[in-house]
Amino acid sequence: MLITFLKRYSLRQLFKLFCEEYIGFVVRYLPGYEGMLLRKALYKFIFNKMGTGILIWPDVFLTHTYAIGAGSYISINAGTHIDGRGGIVIGDHVMIGPNVFIGSSNHHVRDLDGVPRFFLGHESKPVRIGSNVWIGANAVVCPGVIIGDNSIIAAGAVVIKDVPSSVIVGGNPANVIKSI
């Protein structure tokens, strides 16, 4: 099973996963300005792309960061979990509230053919978050979603389909509340 896991990744990705897991564990909970600087330095190294002015607050859990690209001036608040396995692109001037989940992969949903679901693996569905987006506290952004520029995702929203530009969405599943 370990060999199957290792075959999925390049050596560079495995090294980044190692750094993310072990060094990330050390810097994830460090408070204050020093903690932010150390987190930024780590993620600058292991993100696919990272702009300037990134604030990653304590207790942010990032996985598969080798597939995350981030623009400039982004704030990721405490308790957020971002799984970049399927690829995530975040635009500029994005605010991500506390306890948000953004996922870019899911377990395969298909005929089992006698194979336990545990062994079917993941399917990747990249997520794109436009520029000047605000994602409210406790929101969930599901795999394959595109969020348009200047949009707001209300607190607690579950986003399962694309969000147009310049709208506010909320609810479960998220629907357009109004244009802005």
Q: Supply the residues annotated as catalytic.
A: 107
* Of residues 115, 43, 51, the one with CA closest to residue 84: 43
To the nearest 10°, report the CA torsion of 47, 51, 52, 56.
-40
139 CB-near residues (< 8 Å, 6+ apart): 97, 100, 101, 153, 154, 155, 156, 157, 158, 159
Order of all β-strands in the sheet with 127-129: 49-50, 68-70, 88-90, 127-129, 146-147
Cα–Cα distance, 166 to 36 (Å, whole number): 30
Backbone angles phi, psi at 43, to 5 degrees: -70, -25
